[in-house]
Amino acid sequence: MSKKIISYNVNGIRAALKKDFIKWLMTEKPDVLCLQELKALPEQIEPAVFEELGYQLYWEPAQKKGYSGVAIFTKQTPLHVEHGCGNELYDFEGRVIRADYEDFSVISVYMPSGTSGDVRQDFKYDWLDFFYDYANELRKTHPNLIISGDYNIAHEAIDIHNPVSNKKSSGFLPEERAWLSKYIDSGFIDTFRHFNPEPHHYSWWSYRANSRANNKGWRIDYHMATAPMQSRLVNASILPEAVHSDHCPILLEIE
């Protein structure tokens, strides 16, 4: 039987819960739900509503209140949950959590955005250097690995509604795109593109200028799977009907 993994930058779990998030979750029924940008501490939500649906909640919040944070909600008890990535600078911002199962591991990751200026763009570049090494080192001990989340980078021109006017925008800078190419070439599969070569599929839309209604978006959320997982990939898709956030969920099914 296949397993459903959904990744979703909810842009505030408390806000999403006010927009029928639980009803959506009851419909989709993922086995593993990777969340990013929770902007809350575990005690700021009512866990029972998720536990009643069979989920165990593993949370890695940012130290700064109302900021960042990742989580994995899972129906199957993991063998081990690793909180953080072992780098104090990034763990302070709640960017990485990993669940290990018998035959695969899943990471929920929230990569930094550089949109607020040069200081954060430099922070993002430092993070990318760190994460490339971190992910490739981790693959040695966890070869069946899925790294899911908001990468804050649109990879190719096909992944963004207007590549020409955005070529100097953070999230589509040549250096960022080159990094993502290098990352994929090191042994990761962009699972959505593995199944879907067509354009106009996005996972994030600006709140400005009716972008979502006009599908003027960016594809910046990914399920990246290591090469040994290729034979187990069943399907990957984007779920734009879910409207709890400026992002939408992305789905991966594995055997």
**DSSP 8-class letter at 5:** E
Positive/negative CA dihedral, 130, 220, 68, 168: positive
Residues 6+ apart with CB under 8 A from 133: none
Percentage helix, strand, coil for the chain under 3-state DSSP, each rounded to 5: 30, 25, 45
> Where are any strands of DSSP class E within the chain?
3-9, 32-36, 56-60, 70-74, 80-83, 96-100, 105-110, 145-150, 188-190, 204-205, 217-218, 221-226, 233-238, 250-254
Query: What does the block give as tokens for 181?
Result: 């190419």
Active site residue 133: no
From the candidates 100, 150, 159, 221, give the one annotated as an active-site residue.
150
In 10 A of CB 126, how many CB atoms?
Answer: 13
**Can you give the C-alpha Rg of the chain in angstroms?**
17
Six-digit token pair at 29?
């029924």
Whole-angstrom CA distances from 130 to 117, 200, 224 are 20, 31, 17
- DSSP bridge partners of 110: 150
Which residues are identified as catalytic?
Answer: 150
